[in-house]
Amino acid sequence: MPGDLPYYVNQAENSSIYQITYCLDFFNKRLRVDDYQGNVDAICKRTAEIAQTHALTKIFIKSRENDWQAFLSKGCMLEGIYKGYFRGSDAYCMAIYTDLERRTSDYWMEEDRILNQVLALPLRPERPAEPENCTLRIARTEDAGQLSALYGQIFQTYPTPMNDPLYVEQTIREGTIYYLLESPVQLISAASAEINTIYCNAEMTDCATLPAYRNQGHMRLLMHALEEDLISRNITCAYSLSRALSVGMNAVFFQMGYRYYGRLTKNCDIYDKFEDMNLWVKSLKG
């Protein structure tokens, strides 16, 4: 990171008229407001100040259903809906941009073409068979090294420092669950669920498969394992942000019954540039 900044810092602020919990996401040059209470006007004003102070070019707020139109009236735009995010109530992704280049998508028409291609695929809700001579299991802290090596091999850049084994180990200790698929000689595929126990949701993320093992159903198998684990923990909402330019991951989520609920413009730095991300959501209730 330039200037030795951390990838991100989570903070909270309380005043007489609002409370906000947010992430200063330096690597992705964005301010993400994960939770809030209080006066929408004051929250919009304060988040704009924070973003300006730290030269962050995108603000996005996970708004409650009662507030999204108030945020809209303050200049925010609706980019997507996290269905069932707040213990069954929807969260509305409201965004503000402070930079025209960040606001402008370079590939929107191509991403629409890919989305339509994905939405025409048949559903494949069944659990794939585990490949012969491979092991499917939940990851342990001692797997952090091989997980970070896999992510470092697949992604040129990534929104979080997944190529750092200490960071991966920290996420496991903090409650993120990883499932992995390994052959007798190497780790071939992995994915994780970042759990929010307060609101009973989880982000399905950190999906990676070695190129030689793609298009064999491995990621759908990992997603089934993650979903079964989440249901046992009473998590009711699963969601994922997939690169809008990637047919593969969008297809995985659509075919497993996730629904498309919007596209977040230049949301994060992944592979080698800021990319648009498609939002997929699935209810894990019943």
| Beta carbons of 261 and 280 less than 8 angstroms apart | yes
Residues 198-222 have pLDDT tens digits of: 999 999 999 999 999 999 999 999 9
Q: For residue 256, how many other CB atoms are within 10 A of its CB?
A: 21
Single pTM value for the model: 0.96
CATH class for the region spanning 108-283: alpha beta
**pLDDT of the chain, 286 residues: tens digit per residue:** 545 678 999 999 999 999 999 999 999 999 999 999 999 999 999 999 999 999 999 999 999 999 999 999 999 999 999 999 999 999 999 999 999 999 999 999 999 999 999 999 999 999 999 999 999 999 999 999 999 999 999 998 999 999 999 999 999 999 999 999 999 999 999 999 999 999 999 999 999 999 999 999 999 999 999 999 999 999 999 999 999 999 999 999 999 999 999 999 999 999 889 999 999 999 999 6
Domain ranges of the chain: 2-103, 108-283
85: Cα separation from own chain's centroid = 13
Spatial neighbors of 110 by CB under 8 A, at least 6 apart, are: 245
| Beta carbons of 68 and 33 less than 8 angstroms apart | no
Spatial neighbors of 275 by CB under 8 A, at least 6 apart, are: 243, 244, 245, 266, 267, 268, 269
Largest CA distance in the chain: 60
Residues 127-138 have pLDDT tens digits of: 999 999 999 999
SS3 assignment for 244-268 = CCCHHHHHHHHHCCCEEEEEEEEEE
Please report the sign of the dihedral spanned by the C-alpha atoms of residue 36, residue 266, residue 6, residue 142.
positive
Q: What are phi and psi of 211, to 5 degrees?
A: -55, -40
CATH T-level topology, domain 2-103: Aminopeptidase (3.40.630)
Q: Do domains 2-103 and 108-283 have the same CATH topology?
A: yes
- Residue whose token pair is 């996290």: 82
Q: For residue 241, how many other CB atoms are within 10 A of its CB?
A: 25
